[in-house]
Homo-oligomer: A and B are copies of this chain.
């Protein structure tokens, strides 16, 4: 693997994210093991070397889980949001993959965006709407079981 001595590897944000996650898992486990050590020996585990200048090495003990280094998340520009909501309101609540591609392409003119962003946006929008508007349903009792997601009222694409 290490034979390409004269060319650089480029890590995408995606790959970086994978790394972050792996490291996060190790961090969590190690944190637990430190707790274990304390429980056994009654005194806190002392690092051979404290973290040099790690931002979240001290302070906020990250309640419960371990916090990864910050990951920037996409957020729609006002212009993009306007277009997205317009499309949604027109009844196209579940665009097909092809449609998503087109939308993303179009919105790229108004700022950074990816097809995944668009896809996620519609997914979240549907879920949110569904959760907020269970009213207006004509006498639907649904008392017994949970109807485990076998019903999808929005499957209109393809």
Residue from the list B25, B35, B153, B156 in contact with A98, Cβ < 8 A: B156
- The chain B residue sitting closest to A101, CB to CB, is B156
Chain B residues lying within 8 Å of A14, measured Cβ to Cβ, are: 2, 132, 135, 151-152
A135 to chain B minimum Cβ distance, whole angstroms, is 7
Residue from the list B11, B79, B104, B147 in contact with A112, Cβ < 8 A: B147
Give Cα A136 to B52, complex, Å: 33
- Copies of the polypeptide in the assembly: 2
Q: Which of A2, A73, A108 has the most CB of B within 10 A?
A: A2
- The chain B residue sitting closest to A5, CB to CB, is B13
The answer to the question of A22 belonging to the interface, with a C-beta cut-off of 8 Å to chain B, is yes
Q: Which of A23, A78, A85, A115 has the most CB of B within 10 A?
A: A78
A48 to chain B minimum Cβ distance, whole angstroms, is 8
The answer to the question of A68 belonging to the interface, with a C-beta cut-off of 8 Å to chain B, is no
